[in-house]
Amino acid sequence: MKPSIPKGTRDFSSTEVAKRNYIFSTIKHSFENFGFQPIETPSFENSSTLMGKYGEEGDRLIFKILNSGDYLSKVDDNILTEKNSQKLISKISEKALRYDLTVPFARYVVQHQNDITFPFKRYQIQPVWRADRPQKGRFREFYQCDADVVGSKSLWQEVEFVQLYDTVFSKLGLSGTTIKINNRKILSGIAEVIGAKDKLIDFTVALDKLDKIGKEGVVKEMLSKGITEEAIKKVDPLFDFSGTNTDKLASLEGMLQGSDEGIKGVEELRFINNSITELGLTSASLEIDVTLARGLNYYTGAIYEVSAPKGVKMGSIGGGGRYDDLTGIFGLKDVSGVGISFGLDRIYLVMEELNLFETVELPKPKVLFLNFNENESLEKVKAIRVLRENNIKSELYPDTATSNKQQKKQWKYVTNRGIQFVVTDVENDTFVLKNMINSEQTTCSLDELITKVQ
């Protein structure tokens, strides 16, 4: 059988890796320019760390890891007979692959709280895993690039994250991205004024799907979750919310007069919007989107989602928000946090579609020593060592050519890899050096060779 890889995973060619590294380095440079420090966490966590943090839908998408050894031997026969997967999982799996970088980060902060200087600004670039249905831009293994601040409730952090998104996407050439923003307090306030406060999660999860399943689909889902027709009628204006950010804030303020929490959310959004208006953005735009809900359970304030430039059909390429009580689930109270994530794989696909990648320069030797005479190999390897000590990338073609055909193969290797300098012969400590760009050929000492190729 021909070997294959699991659905939702990918191999990456050298060119693809180079393009991805370009995105990584751009994001990393911006993170550090904004004062964020790097950390890393394990690929897998204890199941108790992850489960129950992402809502019912998220929990289903967490990859569980089977316990090592004979994991069924300690399971009660009654559980095996019942074939109840939920009961069985807790007995045979104690660890799981991380679903995102935010919850592991919260665990990290609690575990290392005595070693951290607050407010703590961290960035993290690592893969995550989700047992999702693979489709365009959605994979089961993918990288997240996160930046978070914990230990500060200042709304200037939210303003800075809008600027950070704008900075990164501008540097990548992704002009015209839209940074959508909402506030969980506004959603809570809306649920309160329509009499569906106890259905907040169901309400927000359904509302978040408006762009995917439309108004009719959202209404149907809300009804199925026990939200009344009367309540849905009150929220009807949200389905066609329009106007400038200032107009939207004014409308929300009127709608939420019966909710202190909702009004506070409006005030927070107004501060962010006014600040960005004064500061300006390079290529992105900020848009208040009251249907933006993001079903994750831990957001308590601002919610972000970034969409690709118009004309590109792609899901969100970034998202995040404030989570005032996330570390509280691990025993550390009153530590506010806010963070954003960049969807590397979707950003890559968008840049490919828009032809934003310049010609990628793959790693290659500056000098290649051809191998036509085995008696010269040792002298060539000695020379290569000196070149490398002078930070000149160089290598010896490994196989000795014993025929004209094999010599042509080595020259083809030079052409295919775009190598600039070639050493053809070595004799009496002199080297025959050919410049493949201008075809100039010279005989020189090792010191002269170093000078010519540097």
pLDDT digits (tens, 9 = 90+) for 8-61: 999 999 999 999 999 999 999 999 999 999 999 999 999 999 998 887 788 889
DSSP at 422: E
Give, for 378, the enclosing helix (H) or strand (E).
helix 377-389
Sequence-distant (6+) residues with CB within 8 A of 86 are none
| pLDDT tens, per residue, the chain with 454 residues | 899 999 999 999 999 999 999 999 999 999 999 999 999 999 999 999 999 888 778 888 999 998 887 777 777 777 677 676 776 777 777 899 999 998 999 999 999 999 999 999 999 999 999 998 888 778 899 999 999 999 999 999 999 999 999 999 999 999 999 999 999 999 889 888 887 777 777 887 888 787 788 888 888 888 888 888 888 887 777 777 789 999 999 989 988 888 999 999 999 999 999 999 999 999 999 999 988 887 556 788 999 999 999 889 888 899 999 988 778 888 888 888 999 999 998 999 999 999 999 877 788 999 999 999 999 999 999 999 999 999 999 999 999 999 999 999 999 999 999 999 999 999 888 999 999 999 999 999 999 999 999 8
How many C-beta neighbours within 10 Å does residue 29 have?
13
Q: Based on C-alpha coordinates, what's the Rg of the chain?
A: 29
Reading across the β-sheet that carries 141-150, which strands appear in turn? 37-38, 120-129, 141-150, 337-343, 318-322, 302-307, 178-183, 285-288
Are 53 and 298 spatial neighbours (Cβ–Cβ below 8 Å)?
Answer: yes
Instruction: Note the pLDDT of residue 360.
Output: 76
Are 91 and 74 spatial neighbours (Cβ–Cβ below 8 Å)?
Answer: yes
Nearest to 105 by CA among 159, 36, 153: 36
Instruction: Note the pLDDT of residue 84.
Output: 67
Q: Which amino acid is at 366?
A: K
The string of DSSP codes covering 246-315 is HHHHHHHHHHTTT-HHHHHHHHHHHHHHHHHHHH--SS-EEEE-TT-----TT--SEEEEEEPPTT----
In whole angstroms, what is the distance from residue 358 CA to residue 340 CA? Answer: 27
Strand 318-322 and strand 302-307: the pairing is: antiparallel
Distances (CA, A) of 230 to 67, 136, 191: 49, 38, 12
Nearest to 124 by CA among 144, 106, 142: 144
Are 47 and 95 spatial neighbours (Cβ–Cβ below 8 Å)?
Answer: yes
The residue assigned the tokens 């690592």 is 126
Model's pTM, two decimal places? Answer: 0.84
Are 66 and 93 spatial neighbours (Cβ–Cβ below 8 Å)?
Answer: yes
Instruction: Note the pLDDT of residue 82.
Output: 67
